[in-house]
A and B are shown apart, each in its own frame.
Chain A
């Protein structure tokens, strides 16, 4: 069972470079999310997509853009990477709706910006 698949697993960027983190889920979930995890900060929501065709800002959206390409795929783009964006990025998905909020996570992308 693939679940939520993220690529790449590791990435090193130079300040100012751009990149796109890819996420795909095979559980037919409606909602998808991007979180970042920093030491002592827990998981913080960057952007989410409640359903195909919609995206909304989360707690820490500055410096990021997202695209919900279709029901399966939700990508996160860093247009001009900064050292403050060094973090572990997790994509997650959930069924969606009022009674289905538990999210299932990918294995993460470790990003270092130098």
Chain B
């Protein structure tokens, strides 16, 4: 079983919809949680960064972390066609190896 599980999609929504993307994980040592966006044939770019549990909001994006359930979410409000990309969750521990462990990514398509 993978340490980080993510539904690969694809997820297709109409423009203006609220999008919910999720990951579950099994390693209780993970403390830092990130969401990356990756456009086709490009490198991943950091979208949101959260430490431990709680919510973080940045414009149309909200990241939530529930450590008790080992579950993280990314919400996109008022989705736009330009949001069409693959979204990767990533996480790391606070001690030991701090390299990121990634989910497999969810492909999102926002239809105009």
Contact = CB atoms under 8 A, between A and B. Distances in A.
B45 interface: yes
Contact of B99 (A45, A98, A104): A45
Contacts of B111: none
A49 to B, nearest CB: 10
- Interface size, A (range): 20 to 34
A40 interface: yes
Contacts, number: 62
B97 interface: yes
Central interface residue in B51, B90, B95, B99, by most chain A CB within 10 Å: B99
Given A105-B43, A106-B43, A107-B42, A42 B98 contact: no
A101 B43 contact: no
Interface string B67-94: 0000000000000000000001010101
Nearest to A43: B102
Interface in A57-114: 58, 90, 94, 96, 98-99, 101-108
Contact of A105 (B4, B32, B44, B103): B44
Nearest to A38: B104
Give the top 10 A-B pairs by smallest Cβ distance, nearest first: A105-B43, A42-B104, A43-B102, A42-B102, A101-B92, A48-B99, A101-B32, A107-B43, A101-B98, A105-B44
Given A31-B99, A33-B99, 13 more contacts: A33-B100, A42-B88, A45-B100, A45-B101, A58-B99, A98-B98, A101-B98, A102-B34, A105-B36, A105-B43, A105-B45, A106-B43, A108-B42
24 contacts: A4-B43, A31-B98, A40-B104, A42-B4, A42-B104, A43-B90, A48-B97, A48-B99, A58-B99, A94-B98, A98-B95, A99-B51, A101-B32, A101-B92, A102-B32, A102-B34, A102-B49, A103-B46, A103-B100, A105-B43, A105-B44, A107-B43, A108-B41, A108-B43
